[in-house]
Structures are given as C-alpha cells and as structure tokens.
Amino acid sequence: MPLGVLAPSATEPSATDMISDARQLPAAKFTTREKSVITLLKLGTSNKIIAYELQMSESTVKVHIRNIMRKMKVKNRTEVVSRILGVTREFGSGK
C-alpha cells in the first residue's frame, strides 16, 4: 500500500493518521474521501501525490477538490486551506 510517502520520519504522522484526522473536519458536509483530500491539501500536497496516497486517479482528485470548493463557496484550493486553517482575509491588512 502506498500510504506514507509524505511521512518519511517516524516522528511525523503517517498519511493514514492524517486521513483519519480529516474525519474530524467541521463545516460543510464532506464525504470521507473529500476529507482525506482536504487533509493532504493542508500540507500543500500536489494533486499527483494526493492521487498516489489515496490510490485514485489525478482526475478524481481534481473532481474532489472541485466539489470541496463548491461546498465551501471558494474559488481555489488556497482558499480551501485558508478557511480550514482559520486564516482570515485581514492577515495582510496591517491590523
């Protein structure tokens, strides 16, 4: 099984651990696979690596990301991660 590519050291969580953490995501009603994709998106993982880690095609990853963006009403994957991590638009406003 290809899981674990993202966690080369024993002190870092494995991809399996990160995927199980994704089930705790609040907000919109995401499928289990969408939650897994979000977890890997938070790490800045490319679509190709997400596909490898989750054993799906790259085009399926893109579909999941598109569905996530639609459910969250955002325009790109960066906004998905920002919202999940709680980063606000005021970050660069000098406040």
pLDDT one-digit tens code per residue, 6-53? 554 445 555 445 444 444 455 558 999 999 999 999 999 999 999 999
Q: Tens of pLDDT along 51-87?
A: 999 999 999 999 999 999 999 999 999 999 999 888 6
Q: Cβ distance 68 to 34 under 8 Å?
A: yes
Helix, coil or strand: residue 24: coil
pLDDT of amino acid 84: 87
Can you say whether the dihedral through the CA atoms of 56, 61, 58, 14 is positive or negative?
negative
| Contact between 51 and 61 (Cβ < 8 Å) | yes
**Contact in structure between 8 and 50 (CB atoms under 8 Å):** no
Which pair of tokens denotes residue 1?
Answer: 């099984």
Q: List Cβ neighbours of 36 (8 Å cut-off, separation of 6 or more).
A: 19, 22, 54
Neighbours of 1 (CB within 10 A): 7
Quick one: CATH architecture of 15-85? Orthogonal Bundle (1.10)
